[in-house]
Amino acid sequence: MGFTNVLVRIRMVLLFTAVLALCCFLQAQNPRQDSKNSAIKAAAPFHWGRVKFGTEEKVGDVWDAHPWADAHFLTALEKYTNINVDKLWREVPLEDLDEMVKFPFLFITGEGWFNLSPLQKKNIKEYLERGGFLFGDDCVIGNTGDHFYISFRKEIEQSFNTEMVKLPADHAIYHSLYDFNGLPYMQGQNHGGHALFIGKRMAIFLSPSDLHCGWGSQYLRTTKGNGWFTLEKEEAAVKMGINVIVYAMTN
């Protein structure tokens, strides 16, 4: 079976899982909830993959910043949606297309400037054209930087020969489960959420807002008593992350 068919089948299973999970979450008073929860738990799990890549800057955090923030977010995803979440943290090298296509959804973050190799660009393009979804988030350097955001847009726009577009506040990704008036802001440059579309399908969602550190902040508050951001920002970061996954799995 070709990689394309494998990826499409995986996406269909995850779509079924997400729809059932969303029904359970929104219909908490429905007497059929228990049976639906059983169906979800029996379905294929949602796997989280963190993209591994190189950066030019050797200071600060690179591709593997704060993996414990991912783990905290996945726990919240499981808690608030009933999606069958596989919470194992996996690294997915951009040089390995065979590994990439095992994950219909991939997450990429970092602080510094970076350039992708021709092979990495080719693999990202092929992964996305086969139906994959990439969620990018700037791990803001120095509270105000946007190095990752700028580099990411440059590399993607060169690869696809098109510009990423800024999403309006009424776009469905901001309302797929929780309602937001655009992208919640944590820190950095408030460029707003951007996307790359292949045809009518969103293939990439890019946040310059450092949602990932919002997840990490909530984890630190839970475990050590203090976080980097306010309670409200932490909650918004987690909910927006959930929105991205629900949107990616149902569109």
Per DSSP, what are the bridge partners of residue 198? 201
Task: Give the type of residue at 181.
Answer: N
Closest CA to 44 of 92, 96, 102: 102
Per-residue pLDDT tens listing for the chain (251 residues): 443 444 443 444 444 444 444 434 333 433 333 433 333 344 678 999 999 887 555 555 576 777 878 888 999 999 999 889 988 889 999 999 999 999 999 999 887 777 888 999 999 999 999 999 999 998 876 666 688 899 899 999 999 999 999 999 999 999 999 999 999 998 878 889 999 999 999 999 999 988 988 887 786 788 888 888 888 999 999 999 999 999 998 98
What residue spans define the domains of the chain? 3-250
Assign domain 3-250 to its CATH architecture.
3-Layer(aba) Sandwich (3.40)
